[in-house]
């Protein structure tokens, strides 16, 4: 085994890894460090151009280093930045984003300070997650360890909302629950904010039996926070679902999120089926919607195309401001939710939602010679490279791109700028404090020529 080495951390890169160099120039990447720190590390994995290492000791700590809140922070793979003061987390993430844009030649270093706005801090630094997923092994719940599939048992997660942690504590000591846990591969907890309850989804190893159903019903009866238990067996449709009264249709169960009247003049309730996608940081999600509406107020309400619309998180607030919305998404349940949400808000006449892939929808709309004033792009982590060449033909004067991965964002932005769009503002949105994940919002305007 290679002997431990000492080095100075030059910077922190994507994923929260510190980068330093040995005297011979060899690059070392190590977690849980901060720029300028002198550290002793144990190299453990060699690659062609760098080595991975584990942190052994911080010899000269940064003045931004703090004591982590979580007792399993050193071993759990969930967080990357609990050792850094929150202001330093924001600075590091903004720096990573700026460096990614410059490396992709989307802007020059001297331009980045004008293009990249101040990072949008999360209202909560801890306790912000509306849902969590815990792995299960040998009857224990927890997260995977860093870069491993070893289970780190947890009974409380500092990133989870208080209601999730309260129910987790109740479940941890419940014998009935552990009888179900023995046959589970994972569980998910969803806070239902409008009801002040939590929904439990159990990924089950076999088809459920009457005794499982009875146990689920008794859990709901005995735990006031627990609204429902859903079983999810691999290879079959989600369900069955149980509440305190017995089996209940899954279609009748909705997680409801309330958006404040300060966003678009009146309250808006967004509902989705359990397991459907919504941002886990609800307070920061409202900030994202607020920034979107701020950017859109520079335009007269017209036609907006939301190509990854989900339950209508961004498009319905726009509809409330007078925009005509066309939205599509691949997930059937989210389209059902988007339609219900538009009807519940009295916006059905302004919105059209269909189940369709973004690429297929764009091709269809081009064939129909449809045009739009603005496009909303909120793709999955993989981005939307195949979609980018189709977008200029929709004649939108503005594109808002919401991304959860800087690398695929840079790739897609390169395609959009080459096609004739220009970035005019980029904002880091800290959707996931204490982690290395970056959420970004980008505003682009058309500056090319139309055929």
Q: What is the pLDDT of residues 101-137, one digit of tens each?
A: 999 999 888 888 888 999 999 999 999 999 999 999 9
Q: Is 301's pLDDT higher than 70?
A: yes
Sorting pLDDT into bands at 50, 70 and 90, what band is 450? Answer: low
Dump the DSSP string for 163-211. Answer: HHHHHHHHHHT-HHHHHHHTTEEEEEEEEETTTTEEEEEEEESS---HH
Residue 342: burial class (beta carbons within 10 Å; 0-12, 13-18, 19+)? buried
CATH class of residue range 131-248: mainly beta
pLDDT of residue 275: 74
* 351 is a catalytic site residue: no
Ordered by start, the domain boundaries in the chain are: 5-65, 131-248
CATH of domain 5-65: 2.40.50.140
**pTM to 2 decimals?**
0.92
Q: With contact defined as beta carbons under 8 Å apart, do 397 and 373 qualify?
A: yes
Cα–Cα distance for residue pair 55/17, rounded to 1 Å: 11
pLDDT of residue 139: 87
* Helix (H/G/I), strand (E/B), else coil: 113: helix
Sorting pLDDT into bands at 50, 70 and 90, what band is 451? Answer: low
Cα–Cα distance for residue pair 257/272, rounded to 1 Å: 9
Beta bridge partners of 272: 255
Among 76, 79, 384, 404, the active-site one is 404
CA 308 to chain centre: 14
Cα–Cα distance for residue pair 360/400, rounded to 1 Å: 20
Sorting pLDDT into bands at 50, 70 and 90, what band is 239? Answer: confident
pLDDT of residue 277: 80
pLDDT of residue 368: 96
Same fold, 5-65 and 131-248: yes
pLDDT of residue 251: 80
């Amino acid at each position: 085994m290679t002997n431990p080495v000492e080095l100075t951390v030059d910077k922190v890169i994507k994923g929260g890894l510190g980068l330093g160099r040995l005297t011979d120039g060899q690059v070392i990447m190590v977690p849980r460090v901060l720029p300028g720190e002198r550290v002793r590390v144990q190299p453990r994995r060699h690659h062609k151009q760098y080595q991975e290492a584990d942190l052994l000791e911080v010899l000269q700590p940064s003045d931004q280093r703090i004591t982590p809140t979580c007792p399993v922070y050193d071993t759990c793979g969930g967080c990357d930045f609990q050792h850094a003061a929150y202001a330093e987390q924001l600075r590091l993430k903004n720096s990573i984003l700026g460096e990614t844009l410059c490396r992709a030649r989307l802007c020059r270093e001297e331009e980045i300070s004008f293009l990249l706005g101040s990072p949008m801090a999360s209202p909560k630094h801890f306790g912000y997650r509306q849902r969590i997923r815990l792995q299960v092994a040998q009857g224990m719940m927890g997260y995977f360890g860093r870069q491993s599939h070893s289970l780190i048992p947890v009974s409380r997660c500092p990133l989870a909302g208080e209601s999730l942690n309260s129910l987790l504590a109740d479940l941890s000591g419940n014998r009935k629950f552990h009888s179900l846990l023995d046959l589970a591969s994972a569980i998910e907890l969803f806070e239902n904010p409008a009801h002040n309850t939590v929904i439990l989804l159990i990924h089950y190893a076999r088809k459920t039996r009457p005794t499982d159903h009875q146990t689920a019903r008794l859990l709901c009866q005995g735990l006031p926070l627990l609204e429902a238990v859903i079983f999810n067996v691999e290879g079959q449709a989600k369900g069955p679902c149980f509440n305190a009264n017995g089996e209940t249709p899954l279609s009748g169960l909705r997680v409801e999120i309330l958006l404040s009247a300060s966003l678009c003049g009146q309250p808006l309730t967004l509902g989705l089926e359990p397991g459907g996608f919504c941002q886990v940081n609800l307070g920061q999600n409202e900030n994202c919607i607020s920034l979107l509406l701020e950017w859109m107020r520079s335009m007269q309400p017209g036609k907006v195309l939301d190509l990854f619309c989900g339950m209508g998180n961004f498009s319905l607030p726009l509809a409330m401001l007078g925009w005509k919305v066309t939205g599509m998404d691949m997930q059937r349940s989210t389209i059902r939710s988007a339609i219900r949400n538009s009807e519940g808000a009295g916006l059905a006449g302004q919105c059209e939602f269909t189940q369709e892939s973004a690429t297929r929808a764009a091709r269809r709309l081009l064939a129909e010679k449809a045009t739009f004033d603005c496009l909303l792009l909120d793709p999955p982590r993989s981005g939307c490279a195949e979609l980018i060449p189709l977008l200029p033909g929709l004649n939108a004067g503005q594109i808002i791109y919401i991304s959860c991965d800087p690398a695929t964002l840079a790739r897609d932005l390169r395609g959009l700028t080459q096609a004739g769009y220009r970035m005019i503002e980029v904002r880091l949105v800290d959707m996931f404090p204490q982690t290395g994940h970056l959420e970004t919002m980008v505003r682009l305007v058309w500056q090319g020529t139309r055929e």
